[in-house]
Amino acid sequence: MEKIDFVKLNQDILDEWEARINAKEKEPNFAPDGILYRGKPEDYATYSEFTENKEKENKLWSEAPIRYMFLTKDQNAWGDDAWDVRGETGRKQKDSESIPYRFYRNLMYILYGLTHSLDKLCGYDDFTNQQAIKEYDEAPLARINVKKQAGSSSIANGTLEQYINDYKDLLKKQVELLDADVLVCCGYSESVGETGNLILNFLKENVYDFDKFDDWIYFEKEDDKVKRIAINAWHLSYSGVSQRDFYEGLVSSYHNFIQKHPEFVKHR
């Protein structure tokens, strides 16, 4: 079977997306995303960043037994220029064991919990920052912002929904191309209808035929076997719940689902 060049095809979608944004929006400020870069990290004045290694990224994604994707709203650029999501290390220096921002701490901890709860449940205190960072740096992981224009610290649900609708053909194309197995939809809000999550609603209505397992877990079957899972999560920066409770609720529900559907972890 011919190998898929995920990196190139994702870039083709991004190029089309950026061109449309440049033609449509007054302040484009485009933030590219996709499979995280897996080249060597570099330190800069106030941040660190991974370099690109297309061959390694394609190989990792193509051969992954489980592909993980975090779908978030938009990039919080604090009013500045956007950056490439794929290069994010989530820490200020590449060798630091500190995860200073809630967004990245939740992301790295939840990712570690998901990848290490396929058999025995991995608790919040069962690993260190160093282990979580290492997993984040090496796991088959993609990040997608459903709104590619960089924003600020918050976005109204109506604005986000309008943006999703305006570019839903490209969002659908990108999600289908990357074909993730576990999609963490970061945007639950009590004010949103149906699932409570605009991102998960989009996936259910436009991309995948998800059924509900519990408040956290949605799943799609093919030939009577679970093919993929969507997780209904809060925004990764949400402060209305402790990081421990966020982690334990999400990961324990995922582990419970895996125990009931052990075939999922071997479906590729």
pLDDT of residue 174: 98
Q: Residue 122 to residues 118, 129, 182, 254: CA-CA distances in angstroms?
A: 9, 14, 17, 11
pLDDT of residue 78: 81
Q: Residue 52 to residues 28, 88, 99, 180, 218: CA-CA distances in angstroms?
A: 23, 11, 22, 20, 33
| Rg for the chain, CA atoms, rounded | 18
260 contact partners, CB below 8 Å, separation of at least 6: none
pLDDT digits (tens, 9 = 90+) for 187-208: 999 999 999 999 999 999 999 9
Which of the four pLDDT bands, split at 50, 70 and 90, describes residue 1?
Answer: low
Q: Is the pLDDT of residue 88 over 70?
A: yes
pTM recorded for the entire structure: 0.97
Q: Please state the φ and ψ torsions of residue 7, each to the nearest 5 degrees.
A: -65, -45
Cβ-contact 145, 72 below 8 angstroms: yes
Q: Is the pLDDT of residue 12 over 70?
A: yes
What domains can be seen in the chain, in order of their start residue? Answer: 6-34+57-78+97-266 (3.40.470)
Residues 82 and 256: their CA atoms lie apart, in Å, by 38
Structure tokens at 67: 């592909």
Residues 218 and 123: their CA atoms lie apart, in Å, by 22
Which of the four pLDDT bands, split at 50, 70 and 90, describes residue 58?
Answer: very high
Q: Chain centroid to CA 161: how far?
A: 18
Residues 161 and 153: their CA atoms lie apart, in Å, by 17
